[in-house]
Amino acid sequence: MVMSKFDGKTILITGVAGFVGAYLAKRVCEENPSAKVIGFDCVNDYYDVKLKEHRLSWFDGFSNFEFVKGNLADKKVVNEIFEKYHPDIVVNLAAQAGVRYSIDHPDAYIESNLIGFYNILEACRRYPVEHLVYASSSSVYGGNKKVPFSTDDKVDNPVSLYAATKKSNELLAHAYSKLYNIPSTGLRFFTVYGPAGRPDMAYFGFTNKLIKGEKIQIFNFGNCKRDFTYIDDIVEEVIRVMRRAPEKKQGEDGLPLPPYKVYNIGNSSPENLLDFVQILSEELVRAGVLPSDYDFEAHKELVPMQPGDVPVTYADTSELLKDFGFKPTTSLREGLRKFAEWYKEYYV
């Protein structure tokens, strides 16, 4: 049997009550009984706390999981966790998410995404780790016209504060990698979806509105494309990255070259929003969430683009494929079917 590289390791996962964090921690706990997973989250009320508590209930039977509630912006709490557990691998998924929310609530983004991330970097410096993996976002590509988006592209023109904080994370991580030889990998996530996902995401919000008989707004008059990536594919990609930290190397000047990488984590197959809504509606009917005679046309409204939004997201994942040999396999219909079935079980 091939031994897992997580055997005997202590892994800190921040944002563990969140969508990606909960799925990732659950998979690591299931497959690595000798690993210790420390889950950290402030369980804020950005969206329904009951959903976050539902995700945390997944860990009730795991002896190798420990939950710590706290705020990443509290430096004392972060240092205490590192002092107590000395994590080998840190996966920082805690962040204030959402593009539109950042327009009206900028303080939350500065606190969580900048101060919180700085506290993680400082802790990794004081208590050296084997690998820091952190969530960036496809939002860093802003209004880039060239598609698919490549990690070699310039990303200096964010169109939202959320995107600016995520780009800042990458810059801070690079500086700490260079100065303190901390192996770090940034992950630019592209539109993650699936069961128990984030209610502020389009597919979830659309479903909530359709249930109530409200109209759903489809932005840019339906001319939007998103690189939807199913949660299980995302988790597989993250785990592969976690297992292999960027190599430490010396430069010609005798100083360390930064052990630093950034990858696109996406499906590399953008879908038109109108097609997406069509598939979602069919799967909601199939799952019994909506009646078979539901009039979708009467509940659709095509509207202009929103501030901070972009017309297309499209990941070039060739680097990920080259380095880790993985490409997402879940079709949009398969993923939305699983979401619809979960929604029916959880809500209806």
Is pLDDT above 50 for 174? Answer: yes
Indicate whether 165 pLDDT > 70: yes
Catalytic site includes residue 263: no
Domain range list for the chain: 10-193+229-266+314-328
Residue 312 or 258, more confident: 258
Rounded-to-integer distance, Cα 348 and Cα 345, Å? 6
Alpha carbons 88 and 48: distance in angstroms, whole number: 32
Domain 10-193+229-266+314-328 in CATH 3.40.50.720? yes
Residues 6+ apart with CB under 8 A from 331: none
- Would you place residue 306 in the very low, low, confident or very high pLDDT band (cuts 50, 70, 90)? confident
Mapped onto helix, strand or coil, the DSSP state of residue 216 is strand
Confidence band, pLDDT 50/70/90 cuts, at residue 4: low
Q: What is the mean pLDDT of residues 233-253?
A: 94
Assign 1 a pLDDT band (cuts: 50, 70, 90).
Answer: very low
For range 267-280, the mean pLDDT? 91
pLDDT of residue 143: 80
| pTM of the complete model beyond 0.75 | yes
**Percent of the chain topping pLDDT 90:** 79
Least confident of 9-13, 124-128, 130-134, 307-311: 307-311
Predicted confidence at residue 2, as pLDDT, reads 40
- Mean pLDDT, rounded, of the chain: 93
Q: Which two tokens stand for residue 95?
A: 């962040």
Residue 242 predicted with pLDDT over 70: yes
Average pLDDT over residues 316-328: 93
Of the chain, the end-to-end C-alpha distance in Å amounts to: 43
The string of pLDDT tens digits covering residues 20-37 is 999 999 999 999 999 999
pLDDT digits (tens, 9 = 90+) for 123-141: 999 999 999 999 999 999 9
Whether the pLDDT of residue 299 is over 80: the answer is: yes
Secondary structure E strands in the chain: 10-14, 36-41, 65-69, 89-92, 131-137, 184-189, 192-193, 216-218, 225-226, 229-230, 249-250, 256-257, 260-265, 271-272, 300-302
Q: Which of 261-270, 299-308, 338-347 has the lowest mean pLDDT?
A: 299-308
Q: Which of 134, 162, 203, 343 is catalytic?
A: 162
What pLDDT, on the 0 to 100 scale, is given for residue 219?
83
Percent of the chain's residues with pLDDT above 70: 99
Task: Give the pLDDT confidence score for residue 69 in this predicted structure.
Answer: 98
Q: Flag whether pLDDT at 326 surpasses 80.
A: yes
Tokens of residue 284, six digits: 């909601």
Average pLDDT of span 33-53? 96
Q: pLDDT tens digits for 213-238?
A: 999 988 887 888 889 999 999 999 99
